[in-house]
Copies of this chain bind each other. A is one copy, B any other.
């Protein structure tokens, strides 16, 4: 595999089933950690104006509506409510929406990791996309399930990644137009970073 970078021009973001009821089943991260990571990933999509597609499974039932922390950050995202298909790729509207972005790199997160993320990722890979599984913006019922899901995806060439790395490829250079906004995003979701900035400014007398 060549190392072809994620950019704001070649990538799209997919949120698969980040619904309130499903989020309550996540036990691979603590809830504050998970929400923090989901928010950070959604903010990346916002800052870099990446095409974002949100899809749901039975969102008018027990799975619940889309997590407000996602929709609040991405009010203009395309939303595809799937009437029943478990694999988002089985829904024509979803596949069309992805194709419509014109992007070949797909940054996918999902609840759960082994179904909502993995199924979409495996299908997209099959269809020729360059697929990134955003592990920390995804979650599932326990560590055994998460590990098996990652191994299954890595086995076929899907790239495991986490939101800080996604963001760092997108930013590329701190001197870019997004540098300041990106620093704010880092500070908001990586507490040590905010601490460092506060400490630095204080030492500078600012």
> Which residues of A are interface residues toward B (Cβ below 8 A)?
1-3, 20-21, 23-25, 27-36, 57-65, 67-68, 83-87, 90, 112, 114-115, 118-119, 122-123, 125-126, 135-136, 141-142, 144-145, 147-152, 154-157, 159-162, 164-165, 168-169, 171-176, 179, 189-200, 202-204
A-B contact pairs, 30 of them (CB 8 A): A21-B192, A21-B200, A23-B195, A25-B31, A30-B32, A30-B33, A30-B142, A31-B192, A32-B33, A32-B36, A58-B174, A59-B202, A62-B193, A62-B199, A64-B195, A64-B199, A65-B199, A68-B194, A83-B175, A84-B174, A87-B172, A114-B162, A118-B165, A135-B144, A141-B164, A148-B162, A151-B154, A152-B159, A199-B199, A203-B203
Query: Does B160 lie within 8 Å of A195, measured CB to CB?
Result: no
Query: Does A173 lie within 8 Å of B85, measured CB to CB?
Result: yes
The distance from the CB of A162 to the nearest CB of chain B, in whole angstroms, is 5
- Which of B90, B161, B194 is close to A173, meaning CB atoms less than 8 Å apart? B90
Report whether over half of chain A's contact residues are helix, strand or loop; otherwise say mixed: helix
Query: Does B27 lie within 8 Å of A31, measured CB to CB?
Result: yes
Instruction: List residues of chain B with CB within 8 A of the CB of A58.
Output: 174
The distance from the CB of A86 to the nearest CB of chain B, in whole angstroms, is 5
